[in-house]
Amino acid sequence: MSDTGKERETVPHLEEDAAANNNVEDGTEIPIPTEAAAETRVAALEAELAEQKDQLLRALAETENVRRRAQREREEALKYAVAAFAKELLSVADNLRRALNSLPDSEAKDERTRGLLAGVAATERELLSVFEQHGIRRIDPDGERFDHNLHQAIFEAERAGKAGGVIIEVLQPGYVLHDRLLRPAMVGVAKETRKPAEPVEPDDTVA
């Protein structure tokens, strides 16, 4: 056999050795992925994707909640911004009302006094109108049922013809700003009228 034939015979053996070397490195076989391993990897990736999606949705929801809370706080700040200023003006309204109550129009003797009272009344009406434009409303609950959310009881007394818990006198009106109480109305409340004790009928039974 010629040298050329020998070389041809050795070539297949070299190719087999090279293939074996590709599959084995330092005596360790390279694992070939199976279908089960691929499915496990896909499931792990899907679980990771679902977790990332859930975290993203939570972050978006939290951002939306923060935005809504900030918007609500901003609206409330604008809505109640005049609260401190309004409280300072309540004493002005009180003094105007006291001035009118001190001298009823029917007791005014001359034209100048009646004109002065008319001017004070007009000032009070204008002030209350400005209050209403900014959401401030006066509470004057004479004859209404006592409400601890809006009224403050100064005294309690029996009053004929008045059921218990009914307001019989307003000492100082209250004010609310939109749905927030600025100052409770100072009131007097009717007591529950005591019923007279029923007479005890005599026992006519003869022993």
| Of 131, 127, 166, residue with least CA distance to 145 | 166
> What's the pTM value of the predicted model, to 2 decimals?
0.60
Q: Would you say residue 34 lies in a domain?
A: no
- pLDDT of 72 reads 85
Quick check: 11 and 4 in contact, CB under 8 A?
no
Q: Would you say residue 72 lies in a domain?
A: no
Q: Would you say residue 39 lies in a domain?
A: no
Residue 119 lies in domain: 79-190
- pLDDT of 37 reads 81
Q: Would you say residue 205 lies in a domain?
A: no
Amino acid at 66: V
Report the CATH number that the domain containing residue 84 is assigned in CATH.
Answer: 2.30.22.10
- pLDDT of 73 reads 83
- pLDDT of 33 reads 60
Q: Would you say residue 68 lies in a domain?
A: no
Q: Would you say residue 155 lies in a domain?
A: yes
Q: Where are the alpha helices (DSSP H) in the chain?
A: 3-23, 35-79, 83-102, 111-133
Residue the block writes with tokens 């792990």: 44
Q: Would you say residue 162 lies in a domain?
A: yes
Q: Would you say residue 33 lies in a domain?
A: no
Task: Report the number of distinct structural domains present in the chain.
Answer: 1
Q: What is the mean pLDDT of each run of 10 residues along the chain (207 residues)?
A: 48 50 52 74 88 90 90 82 89 92 80 90 94 92 93 92 91 93 95 65 54
- pLDDT of 145 reads 94
Buried b vs exposed e over 110-134: b needs ≥16 C-beta within 10 Å?
eeeeeeebeebeeebeeebeebeee
- pLDDT of 130 reads 93
| Of 108, 172, 106, 173, residue with least CA distance to 136 | 173
144 vs 158: CA distance, rounded Å:
16
